Amino acid sequence: MNHNFNNKCKLLEHNIESLTSDDFDRMNLDLLTMSPPCQPFSRLGNQLDLKDSRSSSFKHLMQLFPRFVLK
């Protein structure tokens, strides 16, 4: 990856749910991309939405966003 981005990227191997708003502040992000699982929200899935444990990382980020976006 560093070869493609001139050593400007840093790969972080963390569980998303372990990140705090202070972590986001320190990272000074310009862009955050994510592909949350669609199964909890799919008509063909169990349709548990946010009650599905596969949504926990997405929920965690959504709880943090207002704090670090509105700074």
Considering the candidates 9, 38, 50, 62, report the single residue annotated as catalytic. 38
CB-count burial class (<10 Å; 0-12, 13-18, 19+) for 60:
middle
Query: What's the token pair of residue 21?
Result: 């708003």
38 is catalytic: yes
List Cβ neighbours of 43 (8 Å cut-off, separation of 6 or more). none
Active site residues: 38
